[in-house]
């Protein structure tokens, strides 16, 4: 199967409504294998081989992962737009869309919530980010932490969801693996200042759990933070299959064999020796 990561540019100067319209247009082209109008990072001639089965967007791409003021001003109704439009694209082109995360309001609480839309256009999973970044400031101060891990079926296999700072907590990934995960998708807004952590942690989570890891980051500058790009797909043996550059908005395309996770676990059955 084929996966596409959309490494979106998120700058404060671009109005939210303009960014949403622009990204929807990019998805519409990527979903049918057309030229998206931005660079495509792919192995060999993959870019010309048709449409992806899974499309992934980054964290809080409508407002910017570090822009809590914009998150307050532009909450997203998870039963409204742009999810309705994304559902229409998924249904029309028969692809699964991990829509990234959105600023969700639920009563008195506000969450950073990931949404996965099935190929029938119906929402299949929602995951509220458990580990909030900021050390009592920013997201950690403004938002409510989720309490439930999330596993959903995608063309990747049983897929565990995580968001950005979650990547630093291996316990989440091991719990998802114990529940049957053979792949992880991580929507992120990871800054350039710590991008070396991002790259190592993606590989670590893949190696530890012998699972596919798809990490979709963003680029641009918002709330004074420069984002670091390097969206990547890591195979269950920890090899980087494809990686985006640091500062370019682009589409990352790669072929994925979901069976490789099971093969890795059978050939090197380290998980069965776990004692703690």
Which three-class secondary structure state does DSSP give residue 15? coil
Which of 164, 199, 243, 250 is labelled catalytic?
A: 164
Task: Say whether 250 is catalytic.
Answer: no
Whether 199 is catalytic is no
Catalytic residue (one of 59, 149, 158, 243): 59
> Measured between alpha carbons, how far is 153 from 173 in angstroms, rounded to an integer?
16
Q: Coil, helix or strand for 143?
A: coil
Q: Are 100 and 129 in contact (CB under 8 A)?
A: no
**Selected catalytic residue, list 104, 129, 139, 250:** 129
CA–CA separation, 69 and 267 (whole Å): 49
Could you tell me which residues come within 8 angstroms of residue 87 by beta carbon, excluding any fewer than 6 positions away?
A: 117, 121, 122, 123
Helix (H), strand (E) counts: the chain = 7, 15
Bridge partners of 186, per DSSP, are 162, 215
Per-residue DSSP letter, 191 = B
**Residue the block writes with tokens 């370019």:** 248
Catalytic residues: 59, 129, 164
């Amino acid at each position: 199967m084929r996966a596409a990561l959309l490494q979106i540019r998120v700058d404060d100067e671009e109005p939210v409504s303009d960014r949403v319209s622009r990204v929807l247009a990019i998805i519409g082209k990527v979903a049918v294998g057309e030229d998206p109008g931005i660079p495509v990072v792919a192995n060999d001639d993959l870019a010309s081989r048709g449409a992806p089965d899974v499309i992934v967007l980054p964290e809080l791409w409508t407002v910017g992962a570090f822009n809590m003021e914009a998150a307050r001003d532009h909450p997203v109704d998870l039963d409204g737009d742009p999810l309705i439009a994304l559902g229409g694209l998924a249904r029309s082109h028969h692809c699964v869309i991990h829509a990234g995360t959105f600023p969700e309001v639920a009563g008195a609480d506000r969450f950073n919530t990931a949404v996965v839309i099935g190929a029938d256009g119906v929402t299949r999973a929602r995951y509220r980010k458990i580990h909030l970044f900021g050390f009592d400031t920013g997201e950690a101060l403004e938002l409510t932490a989720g309490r439930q891990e999330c596993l959903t079926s995608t063309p990747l296999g049983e897929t565990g969801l995580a968001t950005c700072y979650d990547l630093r907590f291996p316990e989440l990934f091991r719990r998802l693996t114990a529940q049957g995960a053979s792949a992880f998708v991580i929507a992120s807004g990871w800054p350039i200042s710590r991008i070396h952590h991002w790259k190592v942690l993606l590989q670590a989570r893949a190696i530890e759990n012998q699972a596919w890891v798809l990490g979709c980051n963003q680029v641009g500058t918002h709330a004074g933070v420069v984002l670091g790009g390097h969206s990547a797909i890591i195979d269950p043996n920890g090899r980087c299959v494809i990686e985006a550059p640091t500062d370019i908005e682009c589409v990352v395309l790669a072929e994925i064999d979901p069976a490789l996770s099971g093969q890795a676990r059978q050939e090197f059955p380290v998980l069965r020796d776990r004692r703690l």
